[in-house]
Amino acid sequence: MSKPSDHCYRSIFRNDLFAGSIVLITGGGSGIGRCTAHELAALGAHVVLLGRRQDRLDAVLGELTADGRSGEAISLDIRDEPAIDAAIAALIARHGRIDALVNNAGGQFPAPLASISKKGFEAVVATNLTGGFLLAKACFNASMKQHGGAIVNIVADMWNGMPGMGHSGAARAGMVNLTKTAAFEWASFGVRVNAVAPGWIASSGLDQYGEAMKPMIKALHRSVPLHRLGTEAEVSAGICFLLSPAAAFITGAVLQIDGGAPLGHRAFPLPPEGGTIAFEGFHRARPVAVLAGDAS
């Protein structure tokens, strides 16, 4: 293993918090998943990066190795149940158990409901809901049922509907309900299941949208009471807390990390400019191109 970098992840948690733990992270090749992988690995976990693009996973694995961290990368489609079962079986054969799962993988495209095809709707639901269910079920049946564990599902700010992305909003709402059901059904096995709901986060995912979305993305901070977008590290910190022993009595909960965006009413103006200073512990954070130079 390589010598750790001089610039390491600056987590608020103790360095050995997840020492020896085997943690799976879907969508670990970019954005919030990449950041969370770095923080968990910095806290002692052996992280297993899951995603469809091996090149992205290998790039993140290379970063972890350069930082002296422990991990591996497995390319698979989270909608493919046989592939998931095979991958989980192989992981348990190598490591003996799976301690935690972060269901982070997701994706959607902007479109009004009236123009979304059945194929498009089902594809987004399969990625944002069905895939997470298949991973959670596989981890529970193969390992957590016997050894306990913790699961964190990543959802979204869809509490007041999700105009322009109704397919994603429906899937995320379904994942919230699935989280609560799994938390109840699996509690007696020592398995905790929670969710994190990021709001507008300055992450690489924002750069995936087309030109038509850029003006709206640049203006998002104007709809947040804290007057800014969140950072990947702020989401990762919430995930790490819910996976940690400090959250041992928390299950079936949804942690909103959104700067208060769903609060208030459009009839009332936002509070005056101000808010909080962003937390940025991720030593390898990358600038978001669509937000570059935007201070308005």
| pLDDT value at 143 more than 50 | yes
Q: Which fold has domain 22-261+268-291?
A: Rossmann fold (3.40.50)
Q: Structure tokens of 19?
A: 């020492």
| pLDDT value at 212 more than 80 | no
| pLDDT value at 228 more than 70 | yes
pLDDT value for 293: 63
pLDDT value for 209: 66
As a whole number, the mean pLDDT across the chain is: 91
Task: Give the DSSP H or E segment for 56.
Answer: helix 54-66
Phi, psi at 29, each rounded to 5°: -90, -5
Contact 80, 130 (CB under 8 A): no
Spell out the residues 6+ positions from residue 212 whose beta carbon is closer than 8 angstroms to its own.
110
**Chain center to CA of 89:** 23
What is the rounded distance in angstroms from the CA atom of residue 238 to the CA atom of residue 8? Answer: 19
Q: pTM to 2 decimals?
A: 0.90
What is the rounded distance in angstroms from the CA atom of residue 241 to the CA atom of residue 233? Answer: 12
| pLDDT value at 2 more than 70 | no
Task: Give the DSSP H or E segment for 35.
Answer: helix 31-42
